């Protein structure tokens, strides 16, 4: 690949190897694409994301065949002849080279370069911009650059409900404490309120309270 070709391509994450299947080197796959018929064809070559201590670090792997068992994708790969070899690939993430000009037609799917630099909005207020993405085995993370430093946001629908690439906006709805710690004064107020409630619950009822709680009657 020459320099001009490199400029037009980037790595796209398309799947993750989960665990060995059977005795002949097959491996179950978690797919990150809605078009496996295009991405996972015999002869497709994937770059492996594995720990640096893995024997597979820095290597690629070639797909021989993709099969389906009980609606689960299972891959057979070159140079993976048995279960023990397949087990060494568990949790490996699969990447392919993709043309940066290619637009994904999959729902809720974007290339990294489409997200980097987008403004991040919370309750209508801009809090920062996306600096990069971290692709972890469990989930992706948006690394948001804010005035106080970088913040990691799990890239899941519950926290990132809207991505508007066209208008350059990402909307987040983080749970309390994800972006900032509860201010000390608010924490103190909450603690004082809780203590007051506890004292009220423990105190004996007053005569007024007792009268108010007594059953009423229609008789004079």
For the segment 2-38, what is each residue's pLDDT rounded down to a tens digit?
Answer: 444 444 456 788 899 999 999 999 999 998 877 788 8
Give the chain's radius of gyration (CA, Å). 27
pLDDT, mean over the chain: 77
pLDDT value of position 40 = 92
Report DSSP state, residue 215.
P
pTM: predicted TM-score of the whole model, two decimal places: 0.53
Nearest Cα to 14, choosing from 83, 56, 73, 64? Answer: 73
Nearest Cα to 120, choosing from 156, 173, 157? Answer: 173
CATH 2.40.30.60 boundaries in the chain:
8-99
CATH 2.30.30.240 boundaries in the chain:
112-171
Separation of alpha carbons 60 and 6, rounded Å: 17
Does domain 112-171 fall under CATH 2.30.30.240? My reply is: yes
Separation of alpha carbons 61 and 215, rounded Å: 78
For the 8-99 domain, the top CATH level (class) is mainly beta
Greatest alpha-carbon span in the chain: 100
Nearest Cα to 115, choosing from 168, 161, 60? Answer: 168
Please give the average per-residue pLDDT across 177-189, as a whole number: 52
pLDDT by residue (tens digit) across 36-84? 888 899 999 999 999 999 999 999 999 999 999 988 999 999 999 999 9
């Amino acid at each position: 690949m020459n320099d001009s070709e490199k400029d037009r391509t980037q790595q796209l994450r398309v799947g993750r190897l989960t665990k060995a299947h059977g005795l002949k080197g097959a491996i179950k796959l978690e797919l990150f694409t809605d078009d496996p018929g295009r991405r996972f064809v015999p002869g497709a070559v994937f770059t492996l994301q594995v720990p640096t201590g893995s024997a597979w670090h820095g290597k690629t792997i070639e797909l021989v065949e993709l099969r389906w068992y009980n609606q689960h994708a299972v891959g057979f790969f070159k140079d993976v002849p048995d279960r023990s070899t397949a087990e060494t690939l568990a949790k490996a993430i699969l990447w392919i080279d993709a043309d940066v000009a290619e637009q994904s037609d999959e729902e809720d799917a974007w290339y990294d370069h489409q997200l980097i630099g987008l403004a991040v909005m919370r309750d209508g207020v801009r809090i920062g911009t996306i600096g990069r993405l971290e692709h972890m085995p469990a989930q992706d993370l948006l690394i948001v650059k804010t005035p106080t430093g970088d913040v990691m946001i799990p890239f899941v629908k519950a926290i990132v409900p809207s991505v508007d690439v066209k208008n350059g906006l990402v909307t987040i709805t983080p749970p309390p404490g994800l972006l900032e710690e509860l201010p000390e004064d608010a924490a103190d107020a909450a603690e004082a309120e809780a203590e007051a409630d506890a004292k009220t619950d423990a105190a004996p009822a007053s005569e007024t309270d007792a009268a108010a709680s007594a059953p009423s009657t229609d008789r004079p």
